[in-house]
């Protein structure tokens, strides 16, 4: 049997692995909830440690926390933030509500590391106690949502938005590159009037830009915290001075404009900010998935599809069909987007199911928010670098399509009327001819006028 130490909590004795930095409450959570194997995201844990570090500094300034203990706690938090104890955060995502197990996991690891720094042995809570010292002036109910807000804001601004900017710039670059490539536009999956491939790609760039702005606005709602609200928002065991000090310390460390919530009761009852941000992620996923769908359609080929573009070949596409190449990157993007949309549904249900003074489903909300941000960030980077930037225009295929596009009869309508233009178009389809050929046969107008009116490139330009 592996070596163990015995710790106590108010429920009794618990055997904890001897080398573990976590303690009795974490071990109970591990034993009680062997559910999924999915752990609380380490990015979240590190921001939780930042909350603990800031709380210790605030409590020292208020003379509530002994300076020797406080400095050891700060050093221990720094170690957690640097990733030195990542393997000590072991609670399953599906656990007892509110995140108490997560909070205690952090408290216990920080406490035992602080004990070690002070020369003691793990479990010697007389030196540093996880509740009395590390959790001083705090509750799970105000620290967990604070860590969730900080993590979401930092990941959104440091990872997701830069990835979206990369993707937007990739589409903008291609829009310029393809500005002279005339192709058939399509509505209802049927041929429509001509446009340029550059115009099509400019739409994708603007779509990403709009979603980036939406994400940025949603991220700013995460800049409110209720630290000092403690259990239900009344601030029991915490002072107003503490709230101001702890938030100012977080503001200093993150270089972000975090402020205190105007109403701690609303903040702890509801997860409105997380809902909004998750909704912004869902909207982003819908927009990106639509673009991925378009690229798969536009690249459908090489012999019998639309074939307007050629995607970079990143891997073989079949285990049985030699030489087959699939739109692998857009397919990955679609799957990521489906996952994000599903995560939003989970977050919506979890947010709606909060009761009275607390939402007990915060661990699930936090996990899905962080997960969605991470996979979207990575997907956008890969989408830009391994797909969009390598797209080539299939000029020959597009030219052939434009030559046989019957929708260019639209340009005739101002001259010969809608009804007669429709007759020309239907005759072209029926006889397998171009609109120009039919017009000449029907002697609609002189060739010189037809050349001007039926110029596909001119049709792509807005007339003043």
Instruction: Determine which one of 202, 304, 318, 377 is catalytic.
Output: 318
Contact 105, 90 (CB under 8 A): yes
Kindly state the tokens that stand for 346. Answer: 């989970």
Kindly state the tokens that stand for 75. Answer: 């050093």
Which of 254, 52, 60, 61 minimizes the C-alpha distance to 144? 52
Q: Which pairs count as long-range contacts for 61-65, CB under 8 Å and 24+ apart, including other chains?
A: 61/245, 62/239, 62/241, 62/242, 62/245, 64/136, 64/137, 64/242, 65/133, 65/136
To the query of whether residue 377 is one of the catalytic residues in this protein, the response is: no
Strand partners, 15: 6
Measure the CA–CA gap between 145 and 222, rounded to whole angstroms. 10
CA distances from 409 to 79, 183, 228, 399 (A): 70, 15, 70, 17
Sign of the dihedral defined by the CA atoms of residues 347, 348, 351, 353, in that order: negative
Measure the CA–CA gap between 108 and 25, rounded to whole angstroms. 8
Annotate 408-425 with b (16+ C-beta within 10 A) or e (fewer).
bbbbbeeebeeeebeebb
Sign of the dihedral defined by the CA atoms of residues 374, 376, 379, 381, in that order: negative
Phi first, then psi: what are they for 114, rounded to 5°? Answer: -65, -40
| Active site positions, annotated | 318
């Amino acid at each position: 049997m592996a070596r163990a130490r015995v710790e106590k909590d108010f429920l009794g004795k618990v055997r904890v692995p001897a080398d573990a930095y976590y303690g009795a409450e974490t071990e109970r959570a591990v034993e009680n909830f062997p559910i999924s194997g999915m752990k609380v995201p380490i990015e979240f844990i590190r921001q939780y440690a930042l909350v603990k570090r800031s709380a210790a500094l605030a409590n020292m300034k208020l003379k509530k926390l002994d300076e020797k203990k406080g400095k050891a706690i700060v050093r221990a938090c720094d170690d957690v933030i640097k990733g030195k104890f990542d393997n000590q955060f072991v609670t399953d995502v599906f656990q007892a509500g509110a995140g108490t197990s997560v909070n205690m996991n952090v408290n216990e690891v920080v406490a035992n590391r602080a004990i070690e720094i002070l020369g003691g042995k793990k479990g010697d809570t007389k030196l540093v106690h996880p509740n009395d010292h590390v959790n001083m002036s705090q509750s799970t109910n105000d620290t967990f949502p604070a860590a969730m807000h900080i993590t979401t804001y930092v990941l959104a601004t440091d990872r997701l938005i830069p990835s979206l900017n990369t993707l937007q710039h990739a589409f903008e670059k291609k829009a310029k590159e393809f500005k002279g490539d005339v192709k058939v536009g399509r509505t209802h999956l049927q041929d429509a009037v001509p446009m340029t491939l550059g115009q099509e790609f400019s739409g994708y760039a603007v779509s990403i830009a709009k979603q980036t702005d939406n994400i940025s606005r949603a991220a700013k709602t995460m800049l409110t915290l209720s630290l000092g609200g403690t259990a239900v928002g009344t601030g029991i065991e915490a002072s107003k001075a503490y709230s101001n000090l702890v938030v100012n310390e977080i503001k200093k460390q993150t270089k972000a404009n975090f402020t205190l919530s105007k109403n701690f009761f609303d903040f702890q009852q509801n997860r409105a900010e997380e809902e909004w941000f998750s909704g912004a992620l869902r909207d982003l996923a819908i927009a990106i998935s639509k673009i991925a769908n378009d690229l798969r359609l536009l690249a459908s080929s090489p012999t019998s599809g639309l074939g307007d573009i050629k995607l970079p070949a990143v891997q073989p596409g079949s285990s049985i069909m030699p030489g087959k190449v699939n739109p692998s990157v857009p397919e990955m993007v679609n799957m990521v987007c489906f996952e994000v949309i599903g995560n939003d549904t989970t977050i919506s249900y979890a947010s709606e199911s909060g009761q009275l003074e607390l939402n007990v489903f915060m661990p699930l909300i936090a996990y899905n928010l962080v997960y969605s941000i991470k996979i979207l960030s990575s997907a956008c980077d890969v989408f830009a670098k391994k797909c969009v930037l390598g797209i080539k225009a299939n000029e020959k295929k597009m030219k052939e399509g434009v030559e046989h596009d019957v929708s260019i009869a639209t340009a005739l309508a101002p001259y010969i009327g809608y009804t007669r233009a429709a007759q020309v178009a239907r005759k072209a389809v029926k006889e397998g001819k171009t609109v120009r050929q039919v017009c000449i046969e029907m002697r609609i107008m002189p060739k010189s006028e037809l050349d001007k009116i039926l110029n596909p490139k001119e049709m792509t330009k807005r007339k003043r």
